[in-house]
Structure formats: structure tokens, C-alpha cells
């Protein structure tokens, strides 16, 4: 930190920075959260109404990689936006595909609320294990069906969050709640723990894996490149990793928080980021994970569909969730941790598709989202 720059907080939320002018605290994004308010209320057409919920799905780095073609009546053709890939941390697009599975599950659940059954044809032109490419991910056909039953998990969609905060270490995650969370999965083997020995081992593993991701320049830069620092940036690009709030606005305005600085080990931005990550991992009070028998695109879609169900079930139980899947990433520097997490969680074989920390924390704001209209390529 440059000691010649300093902050003085005055009444009314004004920030003074030596040589930097005056800035006002309390700025917050104005449009980035509107898709949450519009979900289910701004659209009458069944596909758009269902999609208004689907775009709220969890996805890696909040990249929101989905594109939808609505040119055929009663049909949604889902494809992936190549500009939203994460080639360094997700070189085979496994995590992106899981996010697309989350999207599809929320769309199907939302359609059922309005009495529509959705038939899914996955990878109709074939799947590619190395790349998603430009082929359709799914063709979804909406059919009115009075026999369709609403999914009880749907009531938690608007409250679901990825809570990237330290959890309350005085509260244990109860086994009965873990059982409910695990039972929400339909197709993918799911398990969870709040046993102290396993928690300690997984805290250590997730901490080490997070450190590798942060200390590997190209993987860390991939995250920093999608930082959205402050309200104006978040409104302009409501995807990526949002950094907001009065302190962020002040640090950004005075030059103490920059992308360039966040890339440099030893810098204030880099080391504060490390502290945040370490505090998250160290306060994990439970873990949940999903293991599929293989690692095809279909396996990944199924994992995504079950992951959002698991997350919704946790939300219903009042449990906070944060994916901690760094050890599952498939690049050379992470290989020892990838092997270790599979030895721990999939000793009989298979692929660990998701790993997340659990605990208790008060509610946090939603993540920014692009409006549905920005994701429609044909209509």
C-alpha cells in the first residue's frame, strides 16, 4: 500500500483521499440485480418465463455461458457462448458444462410450475469430450401437461446464494440436514460430511488447492481478468467476479485496488485476496460432493442438474453453500490435489464433479446477472 495515500471517512459517507479528490460511499449497482426482480413476473410466454429463472443458475466464475435460440415455436435451443469459457482453470469445459446443467434443471423446474413438461434432447449433434464447440448443448421442447407436478425445491430458487464468507464455527451442520441435502440429488452419487476428521482433511485440501490456483499466474489472472470492481463496472458487465460495497469503491477510487495490483504476489490486493480465501476454507463446517461414474458431457450435465438441486435443498435447510472445486480443476499444477481429492472422495473410481463447503452465515445479496434479452440469439 502506498502510504502517501490515505482515507478519511467523514459524515455523510464522503471519502477524502490525498491527491485523489472526493468520492461518495454507498454506491451500489443499479441494473445488475434486476433479473432477480423480473424472474417469473416480467414474462407471460412460457419459455421466457422459465428462462427468466434459468438465468439465475449457479455457474463457474458467474460467467453465465448460456445462449438460447427461440426461433422455433415451443422450443429452446441451448448453446454455449465461447467468450465465456475459462480455458486455464477449466481447460476441458467440464465446469462450464455443469453450469449448463444447472441452467437446464432450473428451466425444467420453472416450466413445471406453469404446467409445462420439458423434453430434453442433449447434445443432438453429438458431444465432444475436449470442447463444447458450436454444437447445440440441448434442444428443449415445451409441452402443456396438466399432470406435471411442481418440484418442492423450486420455492428456494430466489433465496439460493453462493455464500463466499467465513462461516460460524460455533454451529455444527446437523447430520439430519445433510441427509436431506444429499437426498435431493436424483442421478449422481452424492455424499456429505460434518465429521471433524473429514472436515479437517478437506479444509486442508481446499486451502492448498486454492493456494495453487492463486499462485499459478495464468489461472489467477483468469480470475482477475473477470473482476468487476465497483458499481459502475458491475452494471456494465454483470457477470464475472463482482467486488462491491463502500470499501471497494473507496479502494478502487484511490488506486489501492486494481487488477494489476491484484496480480502481484506480496501486493496489498493479492495478499488481502489470499486472506479472504484462507478465512473461507478455514471456517468450513461441512462438505458435500457429487461423484459420477464417468466424465462424459452427459455425466457433467447430470451433475449440474443434481448440483442445483442439492444447493436448493441446502438453502431450504438454512445451510450456506460455497463451491470449493479448485482441486477438481484439470491442469498440470493441480494434478497432485486432483488425485488426492479423488482418493479421498471417490476411492472406488468415478469423477468428483462438485465439492462445496457448508456452514451457517446470515443471508447475502444475490449475484449480478445479465438480463434474459442479452442471452437470446434468435426469437
Torsion of the alpha carbons at 299, 305, 311 and 315, rounded to the nearest 10: -160
SS3 229: strand
Do the beta carbons of residue 17 and residue 2 sit within 8 Å? no
Average pLDDT over residues 27-56: 96
Per-residue pLDDT, 26: 55
pLDDT at position 354 over 80: yes
List, for residues 93-122, the tens digit of each pLDDT value. Answer: 999 999 999 999 999 999 999 999 999 999
State the Cα–Cα distance between residues 107 and 58, nearest whole angstrom: 13
293: its cell numbers:
461414474
pLDDT at position 43 over 70: yes
In order of start, what are the domains of the chain with their CATH numbers? Answer: 34-154 (3.40.109.10)
List, for residues 304-344, the tens digit of each pLDDT value. Answer: 999 999 999 999 999 999 999 999 999 999 999 999 999 99
Average pLDDT over residues 55-68: 98
pLDDT at position 372 over 60: yes
- Eight-state DSSP code of residue 240: S
DSSP structure string for 150-199: PPGGGGGGGG-----S---TT-PPPHHHHHHHHHT-SSSEEEEE--HHHH
Closest CA relative to residue 301, chosen from 170, 108, 154, 171: 108
Average pLDDT over residues 189-211: 98
pLDDT at position 53 over 70: yes
Confidence of residue 267 (pLDDT cuts 50, 70, 90): confident
Confidence of residue 132 (pLDDT cuts 50, 70, 90): confident
Indicate the pTM of the whole model.
Answer: 0.93
Per-residue pLDDT, 9: 35
State the Cα–Cα distance between residues 91 and 234, nearest whole angstrom: 26
List, for residues 223-259, the tens digit of each pLDDT value. Answer: 999 999 999 999 999 999 999 888 888 888 888 888 9
Do the beta carbons of residue 140 and residue 79 sit within 8 Å? no
State the Cα–Cα distance between residues 172 and 88, nearest whole angstrom: 35
Average pLDDT over residues 18-40: 75
pLDDT at position 16 over 50: no
Per-residue pLDDT, 171: 97
State the Cα–Cα distance between residues 166 and 280, nearest whole angstrom: 5
pLDDT at position 4 over 80: no
Per-residue pLDDT, 130: 77
pLDDT at position 261 over 90: no
297-316 and 175-183 helices, crossing angle to 10°? 140
State the Cα–Cα distance between residues 7 and 172, nearest whole angstrom: 39
Amino acid at each position: 500500500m502506498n502510504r502517501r495515500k490515505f482515507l478519511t471517512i467523514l459524515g455523510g459517507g464522503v471519502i477524502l483521499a490525498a491527491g485523489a479528490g472526493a468520492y461518495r460511499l454507498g454506491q451500489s449497482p443499479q441494473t445488475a440485480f434486476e433479473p432477480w426482480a423480473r424472474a417469473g413476473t416480467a414474462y407471460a410466454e412460457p419459455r421466457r418465463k422459465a428462462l427468466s429463472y434459468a438465468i439465475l443458475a449457479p455457474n463457474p466464475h458467474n460467467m453465465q455461458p448460456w445462449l438460447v435460440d427461440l426461433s422455433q415455436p415451443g422450443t429452446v435451443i441451448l448453446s454455449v457462448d465461447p467468450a465465456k469459457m475459462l480455458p486455464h482453470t477449466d481447460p476441458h469445459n467440464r465446469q462450464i458444462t455443469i453450469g449448463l446443467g444447472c441452467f437446464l434443471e432450473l428451466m425444467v423446474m420453472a416450466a413445471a410450475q406453469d404446467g409445462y413438461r420439458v423434453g430434453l434432447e442433449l447434445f443432438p449433434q453429438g458431444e465432444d469430450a475436449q470442447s463444447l464447440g458450436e454444437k447445440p448443448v440441448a434442444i428443449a421442447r415445451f409441452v402443456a401437461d396438466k399432470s406435471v407436478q411442481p418440484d418442492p425445491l423450486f420455492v428456494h430458487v430466489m433465496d439460493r446464494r453462493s455464500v463466499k464468507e467465513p462461516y460460524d464455527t460455533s454451529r455444527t451442520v446437523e447430520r439430519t440436514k445433510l441427509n436431506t441435502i444429499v437426498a435431493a440429488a436424483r442421478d449422481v452419487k452424492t455424499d456429505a460430511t460434518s465429521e471433524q476428521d473429514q472436515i479437517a482433511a478437506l479444509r486442508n485440501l481446499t486451502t492448498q488447492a486454492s493456494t495453487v490456483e492463486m499462485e499459478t499466474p495464468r489461472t489467477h489472472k483468469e480470475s482477475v481478468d473477470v473482476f468487476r470492481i465497483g458499481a459502475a463496472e458491475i452494471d456494465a458487465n454483470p457477470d464475472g467476479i463482482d467486488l462491491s460495497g463502500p470499501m471497494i469503491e473507496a479502494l478502487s477510487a484511490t488506486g489501492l485496488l486494481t487488477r494489476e495490483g491484484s496480480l502481484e504476489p506480496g501486493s496489498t490486493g493479492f495478499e488481502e485476496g489470499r486472506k479472504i480465501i484462507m478465512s473461507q476454507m478455514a471456517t468450513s463446517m461441512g462438505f458435500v460432493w457429487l461423484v459420477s461414474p464417468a466424465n462424459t458431457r452427459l455425466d457433467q450435465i447430470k451433475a449440474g442438474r443434481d448440483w442445483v438441486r442439492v444447493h436448493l435443498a441446502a438453502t431450504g435447510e438454512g445451510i450456506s453453500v460455497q463451491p470449493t472445486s479448485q482441486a477438481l480443476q484439470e491442469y498440470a499444477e493441480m494434478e497432485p490435489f486432483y488425485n488426492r481429492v479423488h482418493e479421498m472422495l471417490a476411492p472406488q473410481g468415478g469423477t468428483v464433479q462438485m465439492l462445496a463447503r457448508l456452514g451457517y452465515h446470515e443471508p447475502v445479496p444475490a449475484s449480478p446477472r445479465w438480463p434474459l434479452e442479452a442471452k437470446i440469439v434468435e426469437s
